[in-house]
């Protein structure tokens, strides 16, 4: 199945469950827990060693992943709402906490993500926001210009609210 093929069927997980994965410094999956396997529909062997975009859903704006990677590359943690694609094209929403892992000498050895089921009220804000960002990104013929325009739209929205990205996400 191509990544663009989606069913529009939503899957959910419980408040007391956490979806966990770890990656190497390039974002290739090195670990995923049973909740991850169960909701995504992949077998462990299909995920290990693969780039994490194997579960990328086409509804996700690239702006959010740009922010994610820029934040991680600065050695910082990030919280983000993400919709992910299951193997069969279904999807599930998460609130992810993604952070660097460090070795004894402080160098970044990889990253991990712990994901909780999101508050439905937060998704009422995030769904239309992501749709707007995606529309802005795709409105431009040029990929790079589209990403810059999406990023500028997010920054303008945050400036308008007088909030940092973290304050916005964690305040939802
Ligand atoms: C620890 C970690 C966890 C990640 N989790 C996800 C995820 O759950 N879903 C996702 O689409 N991308 C996730 N990513 C981001 C992907 O590496 C990638 O940037 C994203 O899927 C966009 O892919 P693309 O650049 O090919 O469009 C994660 C990255 C890291 C480092």
3-state secondary structure (DSSP) of residue 1: coil
Q: Tell me the average pLDDT of the chain.
A: 95
Per-residue model confidence as pLDDT tens digits over 32-67: 999 999 999 999 999 999 999 999 999 999 999 999
Class of domain 19-170: alpha beta
Nearest residue (by CA) to ligand 1, atom 10, is 56
Helix/strand/coil percent split, the chain, to 5? 40, 25, 35
- Pick from 63, 62, 55: nearest CA to 39: 55
3-state secondary structure (DSSP) of residue 6: coil
Q: How confident is the model at residue 4, as a pLDDT?
A: 57
What is the model's pTM?
Answer: 0.96
What region does 130 belong to: left with phi over 0, alpha with psi -120 to 50, or beta?
alpha
Per-residue model confidence as pLDDT tens digits over 80-121: 999 999 999 999 999 999 999 999 999 999 999 999 999 999
How many angstroms is it from 60 CA to the middle of ligand 1?
Answer: 10
77 pLDDT exceeds 90?
A: yes
What radius of gyration, in Å, describes the C-alpha atoms of the chain? Answer: 16
Confidence of residue 141 (pLDDT cuts 50, 70, 90): confident
Q: Which residues have any ligand 1 atom within 6 Å of their CB?
A: 21, 23, 27, 52-53, 55-56, 60, 62, 65, 69, 82, 84, 98, 111-113
């Amino acid at each position: 199945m191509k990544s663009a093929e989606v069913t529009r069927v939503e899957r959910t997980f419980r408040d007391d469950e956490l979806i966990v994965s770890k990656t190497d410094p390039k974002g290739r999956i090195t670990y995923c827990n049973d909740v991850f396997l169960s909701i995504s529909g992949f077998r462990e062997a299909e995920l290990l060693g693969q780039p994490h975009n194997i579960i990328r859903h086409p509804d996700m704006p690239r702006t959010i992943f740009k922010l994610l990677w820029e934040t991680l590359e600065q050695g910082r943690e990030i919280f983000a709402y993400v919709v992910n694609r299951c193997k069969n094209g279904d999807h599930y929403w998460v609130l992810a906490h993604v952070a660097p892992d460090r070795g004894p000498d402080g160098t970044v050895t990889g990253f991990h993500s712990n994901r909780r089921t999101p508050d439905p009220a937060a998704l009422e804000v995030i769904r239309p926001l992501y749709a707007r960002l995606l529309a802005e990104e795709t409105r431009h013929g040029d990929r790079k210009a589209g990403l810059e325009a999406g990023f500028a739209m997010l920054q303008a929205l945050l400036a308008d609210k007088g909030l940092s990205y973290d304050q916005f996400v964690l305040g939802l």
